[in-house]
Amino acid sequence: MTCTRRWFLLLLAGLALSCSKRHSFTESDLTRARQALETCLTAWKQGQRPETLRSLPEPIEFAEEWPQSGLKLLDFEILHHEHTDAEMMRFLVKLTVQDRRGKRQERTYTYAVALKSPIAVGRDPFF
């Protein structure tokens, strides 16, 4: 497990323990979070490494180990968002991926976005 992935899981665990009530985010927060997620997934689809996102004007920490493991993202669709606590916005995303042998699969995961500095984006292991 990479250091980035561990950091993100610890962040998620801490937030899950400390925040259990619903929170309403502003439209600008929701738009900013969705754009960060789209930026991460587009970078993966284009074959960029997650580390390149750290050099953006608004840096993003993308905790996703699949690009390094050779899993290609062919397409994605953000299905809907969920506001589940005061720190995180969660988005249900359908991914079309291809493994090293060329096998295609559709997978659906929940990605969490924390509007911190840097913005943290990663699959949420609790959803």
Is the predicted pLDDT of residue 17 greater than 50, yes or no?
no
pLDDT at 18: 43
How far is the C-alpha of 123 from the C-alpha of 46, rounded, in Å? 19
Q: What's the whole-number mean pLDDT along residues 60-82?
A: 90
Closest CA to 113 of 1, 15, 6: 15
CATH second-level architecture of 3-123? Roll (3.10)
How far is the C-alpha of 33 from the C-alpha of 39, rounded, in Å? 10
Residues 96/76, Cβ–Cβ less than 8 Å: yes
> What is the amino acid identity at position 71?
L
Q: Which residue has the higher pLDDT, 15 or 55?
A: 55
Q: What is the pTM of this model?
A: 0.80
Each residue's pLDDT tens digit, 34-67:
999 999 999 999 998 888 999 999 999 999 888 7
Q: Which residue has the higher pLDDT, 86 or 112?
A: 112
